[in-house]
């Protein structure tokens, strides 16, 4: 991966946030994702086919590519960004609980169906945004918007970036 691949990937993420943050869910297809993704994968991705189970969201290790992404995005946006990882097993349905910061979801391999509801409409099923989130695509989910990941056909390493913007 070249520096320009990283810069273009980061620029597209920052542009999405500058445009949509605080407005509603948004999808972004960052440039050069094919070049950047291998550097973001961690040990869970390598072991995905070896029976490793889901053990919750964990902070990414310092010095990892995912940690560098959080730090660089934080510098670009002017607020702290914290990266978490989780291996989503095939067949799981996972509500993503987040009442605090806005988040970005990024599958590093495979994919999942992602459903996001408006906070005031969460009780009425059938309203909201539903899409297939694939490796290299990123989805912005505002705080307090209920989100569910499901329809995972093979283990899916997922990166979650928590955006700690000052209101």
CATH code of the domain containing 96: 2.60.120.650
CA angle 148, 130, 69 (to 5 degrees): 65
Q: Which residues pair with 113 in a beta bridge?
A: 132, 150
Reported confidence tier of residue 68, pLDDT bands at 50, 70, 90 = very high
Judge whether 42 and 83 are in contact, CB under 8 Å. Answer: no
> Domain of 151?
3-163
SS3 92: coil
List the structure tokens of 162: 């928590």
DSSP helix/strand/coil, 153: coil
Using CB atoms within 10 Å of the CB of residue 72, give its burial: 0 to 12 exposed, 13 to 18 middle, 19+ buried.
middle
Taking alpha carbons only, the member of 45, 27, 3, 62 closest to residue 137 is 27
Q: Is the pLDDT of residue 125 over 70?
A: no
Q: What average pLDDT does the chain have?
A: 85
Query: Domains in the chain: how many in total?
Result: 1
Secondary structure class of 40 (helix, strand, coil): helix
Residue 41: pLDDT band (50, 70, 90) is confident
**Of the ranges 20-24, 31-35, 69-73, 77-81, which one carries the lowest mean pLDDT score?**
20-24
Query: Would the pLDDT of 158 be above 80?
Result: yes
- pLDDT the model gives residue 102: 92
pLDDT over threshold 50, residue 49: no
Confidence of residue 124 (pLDDT cuts 50, 70, 90): low
pLDDT recorded at residue 1:
60
What value does the mean pLDDT take over residues 1-17? 88
pLDDT for position 155: 93
pLDDT at 2: 74
The arithmetic mean of pLDDT across residues 55-78, rounded, is 93
Helices assigned H by DSSP within the chain = 3-20, 33-40, 43-46, 65-77
From CA 143, how far away is CA 162, in angstroms rounded?
A: 10
Q: Supply the pLDDT for residue 86.
A: 93
* pLDDT at site 143: 87
pLDDT at 167: 56
């Amino acid at each position: 991966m070249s520096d320009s691949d990283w810069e273009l990937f980061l620029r597209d993420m920052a542009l999405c946030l500058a445009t949509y943050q605080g407005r509603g869910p948004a999808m972004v297809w960052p440039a050069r994702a094919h070049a950047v993704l291998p550097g973001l994968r961690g040990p869970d991705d390598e072991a995905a086919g070896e029976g490793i189970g889901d053990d919750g969201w964990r902070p990414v290790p310092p010095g990892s590519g995912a940690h560098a992404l959080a730090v660089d995005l934080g510098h670009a946006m002017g607020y702290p960004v914290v990266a978490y990882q989780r291996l989503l097993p095939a067949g799981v349905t996972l509500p993503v609980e987040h009442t605090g910061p806005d988040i970005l979801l990024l599958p590093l391999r495979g994919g999942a169906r992602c459903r996001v509801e408006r906070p005031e409409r969460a009780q009425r099923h059938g309203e909201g945004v539903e899409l297939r989130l694939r490796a290299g695509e990123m989805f912005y989910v505002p705080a307090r918007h209920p989100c569910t990941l499901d329809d995972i056909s093979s283990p899916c390493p997922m990166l979650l970036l928590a955006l700690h913007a000052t209101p």
